[in-house]
Amino acid sequence: MTGSSPVNPRRTATDISVALCTFNGAEFIEQQLESILAQTLLPTEIVLSDDGSTDQTLVIARRVLAANRMADLGISVTVESRRAALGVSANFESALARCTRDFIALCDQDDVWHPDKLARLRDACDAPDVLIVHSDARMVDGLGEPLPHSLFASLRVTRAEFQGEARASAFTTLMRRNLVTGATAMVRRSVFECARPFSGEWVHDYWLTIVASLQGRIVALHEPLIDYRQHGGNQIGASRVTLSSARVLIKHPLRARHESAVARFSELVRRIDEGRIPISEANRKVLAKKLAFEKRRAAFPVGRKARLPHTLRELVRGQYHRYGRGMIDFVRDTWSS
């Protein structure tokens, strides 16, 4: 009909917050914000936590998130800025703490969300025991051009890992490594409340995932719901394991890597023992065995020849496949400096 207004197919979810963290992200922040505002299911709240940017990040963000525009869309906006940087994980903790809705979508500053991202994630959270939903992503370069592999392919997530994550025993699968990339994820606020304060030993998305796996289900959506930008300036990113990158990993100091793992899982044990994180008896036994494995790895001899009998013993006992990444970790432990 001539003169009539077009029907707006979008709707606003009253229970979704977006926790967006920024740091010197002026180059890409406008594109990311516009992709959030173009969602078929809009959030009702955006919390932007800036970690001491010295560029035009906040100027651009405030322009895009202008008050009159947000009022028309029914979105409330909170912008938090600081002079001294907290770091990625602590910045996300600060953003999540300011979110007020039941579901929180984690957001990086340099990606682009596909229009149905929030709708797909929210639909997957309908069951009350689903605590985290995450998706695959299209990997793109700094210009937004697609890279050869998706996020899941780049991480080489196996069918067995996906199946393990989907079961009630997800905690056992996640003892080996994290499968959830925060930029693709939506988490229930109840998980954050249980996980806070964040542990300095853990990256925020792995910490949230571990806490969630002890209490409920994790769901992986296999379609890409964001363009995950890899541009060399990422604070946290993902890349496909190649022969050259494997050589770099082998050069990482062995003792420091294992001592870090011991610190992570010791912190988890401490939180559980304090009664702050619930755990089943079966998962408690898994955690104890994982921690014991990491302590043995941290005590491996420095020399490769002296270390080989120890790594072979762990391999024969099946420990690398139960509590690590199988042959990948065996090779790293055997050949690292």
User: Can you give the pLDDT of all 337 residues of the chain as single tens digits?
Assistant: 344 434 445 787 889 999 999 999 999 999 999 999 999 999 999 999 999 999 999 999 999 999 999 999 999 999 999 988 999 999 999 999 999 999 999 999 999 999 999 999 999 999 999 999 999 999 999 898 999 999 999 999 999 999 999 988 899 999 999 999 999 999 999 999 999 999 999 999 999 999 999 999 999 999 999 999 986 654 444 554 444 444 444 556 788 889 999 999 999 999 999 998 999 999 999 999 999 999 999 999 989 999 999 999 999 999 999 999 999 999 999 988 7
Rg of the Cα atoms in the chain: 21
Say yes or no: 49 and 147 in one domain.
yes
**Predicted pLDDT at 135:** 98
Domain of residue 268 covers: 243-335
Residue 237 resides in a domain: no
Say yes or no: 292 and 315 in one domain.
yes
How many domains is the chain partitioned into structurally? Answer: 2
Say yes or no: 157 and 290 in one domain.
no
Tell me the whole-structure pTM to 2 decimals: 0.89
Say yes or no: 213 and 249 in one domain.
no
- Of 197, 229, 261, which residue constitutes the final position of a domain? 229
CA dihedral (67, 69, 71, 73) positive or negative: negative
Say yes or no: 104 and 252 in one domain.
no
Pairing state of beta strands 130-140 and 186-188? antiparallel
CA–CA separation, 321 vs 314, rounded Å? 9
Residue 238 resides in a domain: no
Say yes or no: 254 and 221 in one domain.
no
- Of 198, 229, 260, which residue constitutes the final position of a domain? 229
**Predicted pLDDT at 168:** 82
Residue 55 resides in a domain: yes
Say yes or no: 193 and 302 in one domain.
no
- 3-class SS of residue 149: strand
Residue 287 resides in a domain: yes
Say yes or no: 195 and 250 in one domain.
no
Q: Which amino acid is located at 305 in the chain? A: K
Residue 49 resides in a domain: yes
**Predicted pLDDT at 234:** 45
Residue 6 resides in a domain: no
- For tokens 């969300």, name the residue: 113
